[in-house]
Amino acid sequence: MLSSAQRWVRRNRTPIAIGVGVLGAGYAVTQYVMAKINDARERMSSDRIAKENLRRRFEQNQEDCTYTVLALLPTATGNVISALNTEQITYEIQQIKSSARSLKGIQTTSPPSIADTTLTEDDSKSTISVPVDVGMPFTSDGTSQELAPPRPRKTKRQLWDDLTISAITRSFTLIYTLALLTMLTRVQLNLLGRRSYLSSVVALATGSQQATISLENNDDDSPNPHGSDFDTNRKYLTFSWWLLNKGWVDVMHRVESSVRTVFGSLSPRDLVTFDRVSQLTAEVRKLIEGSSSNNNKGSDWLSFLLPPKDKEDEVLRQSGVLDDAGLSPEDGAQPSPAALRRLLDETADLIESPAFSHVLTLVLNSGFSLLVDKKLATEAFEFSLDEAPTTVATTTSLKRTRAILLPKILSVLTRQAHVIGNGNTPNEYLQEMETVRDLEAFSAVVYSSNWENEMKDEGLMESAVYVKSEDTQSQSTQVDSSVIIVEPQATTSLEGAWERATVGEKKS
């Protein structure tokens, strides 16, 4: 039996050897395929986790932008309302009206509002002045003190002209300031958010962090200097001081000049239709922003948002940052650190980009639409919500025949100024502006572009992260319905990233 088995093996040794070889090769191939499948599964799982963390970090960043705007807005609002004190002009007009009624023997229980105050022929000749004591005041040491010159008297018509310009300019200035503050904050926090994210990526690649990129910001605890420069970040964020304390003045002057040109001929006795108000508002915006996308003043926004280089240290001193670092205002101009210089230069480039001007126009459209097409339409012209137009573009096609007195419009604008500048949540105008989809797309472009230059400028080791080109050519970030494609060869081009963002929106 044994000998017969041996003979059979000798006769079939070649097929047996082939079979064993095939089985061994099959086993090896199976193990290799299974290993590759497991590796691919792990990579896919890691990619999903990384993309989800990136999405969560980005969304959290945008929420931070909203709360930052609300925290900063009251500073600008206080400055604008103080400079354009519409309520004080209204009070002076009411004082003239009350004095005139008192002379006629008419008793009033409360001063009239703007909407209830009318202008008569006699009112145009009425004047008002601040009472001045004819006696010569003396100081505590017995010396005389020169009186301040009395305020020039103004007729009620002159006060009404001042009120018209003040009420319109104030509400429009606050809309522009809110929109500019929103755009600036998005740029600043998304640039810093990008630095923080790259810091986490580098820390993960070098093994100094946990296996996932966490949502929490652990930059201060990271030994990697990238993104953890608290002093640089703090100095960079304080540059919003320029818009809140200086830039808004230039915004106000531009708005006031345009408002005087367009609304200056109106009289408080004029009857104005809704279409007329919308048309005049559009004319004011054309004077401020430019008549077309090819002839706009987008580059001028930079002077409102960032100081010139010779004023940068003044901003840091005024905000108290240099004092905290042990430097006094007498120390003279200090050179900006390289990291801060790069952030400011990139911010300036973003502000001067066509994408910034485009998105800012859309944000302003939403703000003015809420003010004119909803607030004025429903509160001044008493349209129902169904009748009120939703966009400025549809306004001109609506034949609105009802006309109201200008004071009623000014009354609504005066109240809305406080709503626009409200620093509490919710702020209706900020909410409306943040519904603009292109604002989210622009934020994603800022967050995801220029990564390679950021890595090089920060002096990170090129060997810290090695990503094969075939693994990164399809890298993408999904933000709601806007898809931002980030390719290594194009990450340094904002215009290229913005084109891909807008194309992704149209396809979605």
pLDDT tens digits in sequence order for the chain, 508 residues long: 677 777 776 777 788 778 777 787 887 878 888 887 877 777 776 667 767 777 888 899 999 999 999 999 999 999 999 999 999 999 988 888 777 666 665 554 444 456 555 554 445 444 444 343 334 444 444 444 455 555 667 788 889 999 999 999 999 999 999 999 999 999 999 999 887 777 666 666 555 544 444 444 444 444 443 344 788 899 999 999 999 999 999 999 999 999 999 999 998 899 999 999 999 999 999 999 986 544 454 448 999 999 999 999 999 988 887 754 444 444 444 556 888 999 999 999 999 999 999 999 999 999 999 999 999 999 999 887 666 665 444 444 444 578 999 999 999 999 999 999 999 889 999 999 999 999 999 999 998 877 666 656 555 444 344 433 334 333 433 333 333 333 443 344 555 655 655 555 555 5
d(CA 407, CA 93): 12
Domains of the chain: which residue ranges?
A: 58-128+158-220+230-329+339-435, 437-508
Under DSSP, the state recorded for 216 is: S
Continuous H helices in 118-247: 156-205, 230-237, 241-242
Q: Could you give the C-alpha distances from 441 to 59, 70, 185, 354, in angstroms and in order?
A: 12, 21, 15, 14
- Residue pair 130/151 in contact (Cβ under 8 Å)? The answer is yes
Cα–Cα distance, 506 to 226 (Å, whole number): 36
Q: How far apart are CA 238 and CA 320, in angstroms?
A: 9
Looking at residue 272, its pLDDT comes to: 93
Predicted local confidence at residue 67, as pLDDT: 95
Note the pTM of the prediction, 2 decimals: 0.74
Residue 144: strand pairing partners: 138
**Whose CA is closest to 314, among 207, 398, 239, 226?**
239
**In a 3-state reduction of DSSP, which class is residue 101?**
helix
Beta-sheet pairing, 127-128 with 154-155: antiparallel
Radius of gyration of the chain (CA): 33
Sign of CA dihedral 253, 254, 257, 259: negative
Q: Is 107 helix (H, G, I), strand (E, B) or coil?
A: coil
Q: Quick check: helix, strand or coil at residue 290?
A: strand
- Contacts of residue 318, defined as CB under 8 A and 6 or more positions apart, other chains included, come to 241, 245
Peptide bond preceding 426: is omega within 30 degrees of 0, i.e. cis? yes
DSSP 8-state class, residue 243? I
